[in-house]
Chain A
Amino acid sequence: QVQLMQSGAEVKKPGASVKVSCKASGYTFINYGISWVRQAPGQGLEWLAWISTYNGNTNYAPKLQGRVTMTTDTSTGTAYMELRSLRSDDTAVYYCARTPYSSTWYDYWGQGTLVTVSS
């Protein structure tokens, strides 16, 4: 069965970086893109980024440009999202989601990774 398994919760200080992983299983990794979405406490869903696992093309939310990088390791079927220069308002649950190339919705989601930014 399709699964996206994310790395565990992180606590970081302001200005630090965090790298969240999303390991896919149960399907051919390069046949689907991966998107990242976050939800801050008490807030709604916010789209962050997308990566083509086939050729590495990326698309980032304008508000995160310069602070976020998405990468993949096709040998292990893992996607990574690195967020730098962390601020308190980056505190959120971060989700990865499988994104079919032929469609525009997210059909499977990781379980979420809580990133807490606090001094």
Chain B
Amino acid sequence: DIQMTQSPSSLSASVGDRVTITCRASQSISSYLNWYQHKPGRVPKVLIYDASSLQSGVPSRFSGSGSGTDFTLTISSLQPEDFATYYCQQTYSSPPNFGPGTKVDIK
């Protein structure tokens, strides 16, 4: 199985901050990497697919980059509605494991 790690596990940030979350795969997954946002009491929502493609309807302040084993999710200017937990997921091979998540909360 491919193992996914994320860093940091949590962070505190202010509205307007630039936030970067890193995801690392235990082996190369090409660009088969998705990012999800999950808020308490809500269902997960895909933000970025195939490492860098922005899902329709997702604000352009979200961006993704990377390939191989190292990936990044960037929020260019954090908004109040962005406080949530963010998960990466590899879909290169089965099982399509999620990372452990990064919780973004208010400083």
Residues of A whose CB lies within 8 Å of any CB of B are 37, 44-47, 59, 61-62, 95, 97, 103-107, 109-112
Contact = CB atoms under 8 A, between A and B. Distances in A.
Interface of B: 1, 32, 34, 36, 38, 43-46, 49-50, 55, 85, 87, 89, 91, 94-101
Contacts of B44: 37, 45, 95, 97, 106, 109
Contacts of A45: 36, 38, 44, 87, 89, 98, 101
Interface residues of B: mostly helix, strand, loop or mixed? Answer: loop
A106 B98 contact: no
Given A110-B43, A111-B43, A44 B49 contact: no
A62 B100 contact: no
A112 B38 CA distance: 13
A57 to B, nearest CB: 12
Nearest to A59: B94
Nearest to B99: A44
Contacts of B100: 44
Contacts of A44: 85, 87, 98-101
A20 to B, nearest CB: 15
Considering residues A95, A97, A105, which has the most beta carbons from chain B within 10 angstroms of its beta carbon?
A105
